[in-house]
């Protein structure tokens, strides 16, 4: 992966990172505040390891000195001495005590840790006095620095704990972000879509910040320009393969195929061609809402021989675009779409209009699109970025191949804004 890819993943999963970080820091903070503060007091003693005579000083014995200090340390933490200390302080149990030799010195340090700072000081000094007066000969052990009352607790270290919690939470959030990315089969980028599908990309329709339908029917918008590019690419294919009747479908619902059909019809009509949009979704039709038309008579009425084509076709508010709505919902939509009457109707529409766009249900939801695909000149698969699933798109491509449909390409809906049209749209005069 490139660094940009990693950054994109982290930005897409920013809430996972933020929540993990917040939870971790909160837990650490609460745990730190609930911890009992501990105070540390220390007394430093000097162990006289060198001996002298009336005439000459005896050479300093390093090994002997180390053994002597270690011996005093063991005595200081022995049971009888600690019991005597607890009795002197009026405690059932002595506080936590550590005795250590300071390297390369004749010093040993008694450290006492306790929630009570005064008790920690008194215990450190009392243990030192006990060693000096009762356990060890006074001429070989002396207090160098008595313990003082600590002003601040040594534990918990709030700043350190919060800092470590922040680092752990950040690392955990980043790890979870990449884990969720690997487990998530949603196609979040155009690049991911193009890697999954086996078809060429005909168009990339950017997401609209305002109402999608208004943006698609506005020729001076990024969406309108992208639709004109889609129109150009389809017309370029028409030089090699006759493409007069097109079926537009998607792998799953809510990927925006019906909106793309309406916007493409608008773009084709702008080129001077006559277009008819037929709503082949006899289960959940939407084109009559998109074009704000009644739906009492439509495609189902023609297939059930309850109306003629002239009676069912309606003029839209877009010059050059006519609409054949779905009509009343039938009880057998798949059978009607797979009938000889439907194939004959498509041929009749092709004779009357320059381009026929057929809006079909999602491929994986019902079989309707699969039965229509073989009878049209080409199939366009709409893939909604951030909506489509990898396995679903792959299954849709395979299903189109199984029915021997002529799939001409993929349209990426809600594609990323790449700024290609920003300059011209910013400087172009507004159209009335």
Dihedral (CA of 180, 183, 186, 192) sign: positive
CA atoms within 13 A on the CB side of 53: 6
Note the CATH number of domain 39-145. 3.30.70.1130
Q: Using CA atoms, how far apart are residues 194 and 187, in angstroms rounded to an integer? A: 10
- pLDDT one-digit tens code per residue, 197-243: 888 999 999 887 655 555 566 667 788 889 999 999 999 887 777 88
pLDDT value of position 431 = 42
Sequence ranges of the domains in the chain:
3-35+156-183, 39-145, 190-427
Q: How confident is the model at residue 326 (pLDDT cuts 50, 70, 90)?
A: very high
Average pLDDT on 363-377 reads 92
Under 8 Å between Cβ of 415 and 260: no
The rounded mean pLDDT for the chain is 85
pLDDT value of position 59 = 47
Does the bond joining 156 to the residue before it have cis omega, within 30 degrees of 0?
yes
Block residue for tokens 């601040």: 152
pLDDT value of position 144 = 78
Measured in residues, the chain has a length of 432
- Architecture of the domain defined by 190-427: 3-Layer(aba) Sandwich (3.40)
- Nearest by Cα to 39 from 98, 140, 115: 115
CB-count exposure of residue 403 (10 Å: 0-12, 13-18, 19+):
middle
Q: Using CA atoms, how far apart are residues 134 and 108, in angstroms rounded to an integer? A: 17
pLDDT value of position 208 = 74
CA dist list (Å): 270 to 26, 275, 320: 58, 10, 8
- Nearest by Cα to 81 from 145, 119, 41, 136: 136
What's the angle, vertex CA 337, arms to CA 321 and CA 412, rounded to 5?
Answer: 55
pLDDT value of position 71 = 81
pLDDT value of position 220 = 72
Q: What is the DSSP letter of 155?
A: B
High-pLDDT (> 90) share of the chain, %: 45
Q: Which residues contact 43 (CB under 8 A, 6 or more apart)?
A: 109, 110, 124, 125, 127, 128, 143, 145, 146, 147
Run of H or E residues at 145? strand 141-145
- pLDDT one-digit tens code per residue, 289-302: 999 999 999 999 99
- pLDDT one-digit tens code per residue, 384-431: 998 888 999 999 999 999 999 999 999 999 888 766 555 555 544 444
- pLDDT one-digit tens code per residue, 34-71: 888 889 999 998 877 655 543 344 444 567 667 777 88
Under 8 Å between Cβ of 407 and 379: yes
* The overall pTM is greater than 0.75: no
- pLDDT one-digit tens code per residue, 44-54: 988 776 555 43
Residue 1 pLDDT > 50? yes
Q: How confident is the model at residue 345 (pLDDT cuts 50, 70, 90)?
A: very high
Q: How confident is the model at residue 155 (pLDDT cuts 50, 70, 90)?
A: confident
Residue 305 pLDDT > 50? yes
Q: What is the DSSP letter of 399?
A: H
Residue 140 pLDDT > 50? yes
Residue 14 has a CB neighbour count (10 Å cut-off) of 12
| Of 142 and 247, the one with more pLDDT | 247
Residue 74 pLDDT > 50? yes
Contacts 24+ apart (CB under 8 A), 127-132: 127/43, 127/76, 127/81, 127/85, 127/97, 128/43, 128/45, 130/81, 130/84, 130/85, 130/88, 131/45, 131/72, 131/75, 131/76, 131/81, 132/45
- Nearest by Cα to 51 from 42, 61, 41, 37: 61
Which phi and psi angles does 14 have, rounded to 5°?
-60, -35
The crossing angle, in degrees rounded to 10, of helices 117-130 and 79-89 is 130
| Cα 286 off chain centre by | 32
Residue 109, SS3 per DSSP: strand
Average pLDDT on 326-341 reads 93
Average pLDDT on 121-147 reads 76
Q: How confident is the model at residue 432 (pLDDT cuts 50, 70, 90)?
A: very low
């Amino acid at each position: 992966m490139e660094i940009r890819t990693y950054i994109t993943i982290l930005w897409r999963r920013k809430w996972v990172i933020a929540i993990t970080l917040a939870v971790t820091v909160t837990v650490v903070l609460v745990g730190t505040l609930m911890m009992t503060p501990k105070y540390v007091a220390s007394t430093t003693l000097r162990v006289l390891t060198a001996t002298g005579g009336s005439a000459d000083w005896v050479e300093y014995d390093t090994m002997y000195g180390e053994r002597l200090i270690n011996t005093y340390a063991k005595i200081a933490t022995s049971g009888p001495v600690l019991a005597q200390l607890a009795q002197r302080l009026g405690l059932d149990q002595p506080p936590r005590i550590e005795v250590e030799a300071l390297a390369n010195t004749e010093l040993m340090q008694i450290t006492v840790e306790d929630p009570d700072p005064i008790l920690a000081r008194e215990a450190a000094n009392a243990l030192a006095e006990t060693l000096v007066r009762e356990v060890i000969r006074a001429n070989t052990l002396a207090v160098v620095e008595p313990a003082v009352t600590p002003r601040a607790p040594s534990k918990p270290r709030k700043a350190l704990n919060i800092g470590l919690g922040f680092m752990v939470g950040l690392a955990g959030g980043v790890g979870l972000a990449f884990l969720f990315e690997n487990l998530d089969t949603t196609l979040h980028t155009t690049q991911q879509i193009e890697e999954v599908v086996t078809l060429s990309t005909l168009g990339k329709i950017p997401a609209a910040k305002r109402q999608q339908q208004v943006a698609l029917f506005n020729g001076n918008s990024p969406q309108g320009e992208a639709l004109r590019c889609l129109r150009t690419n389809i017309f370029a294919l028409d030089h090699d393969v006759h493409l007069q009747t097109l079926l537009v479908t998607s792998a799953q619902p809510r990927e925006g195929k019906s909106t793309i059909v309406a916007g493409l019809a608008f773009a084709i009509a702008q080129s001077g061609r006559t277009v008819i949009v037929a709503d082949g979704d006899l289960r959940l039709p939407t084109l009559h809402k998109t074009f704000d038309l009644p739906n009492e008579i439509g495609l189902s009425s023609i297939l059930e021989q309850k109306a003629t084509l002239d009676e069912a076709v309606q003029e839209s508010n877009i010059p050059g675009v006519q609409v054949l709505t779905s009509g009343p919902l039938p009880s057998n939509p798949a059978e009607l779409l797979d009938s000889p009457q439907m194939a004959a109707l498509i041929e009749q529409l092709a004779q009357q209009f320059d381009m026929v766009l057929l809006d079909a249900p999602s491929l994986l939801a019902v079989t309707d699109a699969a039965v229509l695909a073989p009878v049209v000149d080409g199939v366009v698969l709409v893939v909604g970025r951030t909506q489509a699933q990898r396995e679903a798109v792959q299954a849709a491509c395979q299903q189109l191949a199984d029915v021997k449909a002529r799939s001409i390409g993929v349209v990426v809906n809600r594609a990323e804004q790449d700024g290609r049209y920003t300059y011209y749209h910013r400087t172009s005069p507004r159209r009335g």
